[in-house]
A and B are shown apart, each in its own frame.
Chain A
Amino acid sequence: KAGVTQTPRYLIKTRGQQVTLSCSPISGHRSVSWYQQTPGQGLQFLFEYFSETQRNKGNFPGRFSGRQFSNSRSEMNVSTLELGDSALYLCASSLAPSGTTYNEQFFGPGTRLTVL
């Protein structure tokens, strides 16, 4: 079974631009979560999508948004890029959202975004 795939793997943008990152979950997985990873802040939760609906959101400004399509693929968008948005953006998929039991999240390799 193929793992979580993320495209592109690397991206360079300039301040003020906007960017869209893509994530394809493992086949059959319907929940997708996004994380930002930086050396200073570590792994921080951005948002989670299930059945095309955002279920959970982290403490990030409104410039960060996402969506999920009917085939469970997800995209995240960052508008008006800032230098501090430079990070590794990780996508994780699971069969379903965690509720009273935890559904293991499988991570993709990430998209390395550099903002100049």
Chain B
Amino acid sequence: GESVGLHLPTLSVQEGDNSIINCAYSNSASDYFIWYKQESGKGPQFIIDIRSNMDKRQGQRVTVLLNKTVKHLSLQIAATQPGDSAVYFCAEIAQGGSEKLVFGKGTKLTVNP
């Protein structure tokens, strides 16, 4: 069935370190994946996306890696800053299928100064 989960519910890092947030998905028909950031009191905000025909995509300080063989997605944040503290969600969608986003439970990232 459709389900997106996360390996760790919380992650604590030191400012300046790199952060890696993981996500597992189970729907092999999913062909588009998105990472969202949700700060306290706000709605989720788009960070970066990746299509299933790619295995890596880079943005500003963020990189998403996709391993379709093991249905695993990760978000890497370089030089993590206090402003990166938030809950991060991965989401998947099977375009041409149900066309609805399925979200993981989220990982809370805390950046210590």
Contact = CB atoms under 8 A, between A and B. Distances in A.
Interface of A: 4, 33, 35, 42-45, 48, 55-56, 58, 90, 92, 97-102, 104-110
Contacts, number: 55
B24 to A, nearest CB: 14
The B interface is mostly helix, strand or loop, or mixed, namely: loop
A56 B104 contact: no
Given A42-B103, A45-B101, A45-B102, A101 B45 contact: no
B71 interface: no
Given A43-B103, A110-B42, 16 more contacts: A42-B104, A42-B105, A42-B106, A43-B91, A44-B103, A45-B100, A56-B100, A90-B44, A98-B93, A99-B99, A101-B95, A102-B34, A102-B93, A102-B95, A107-B44, A109-B43
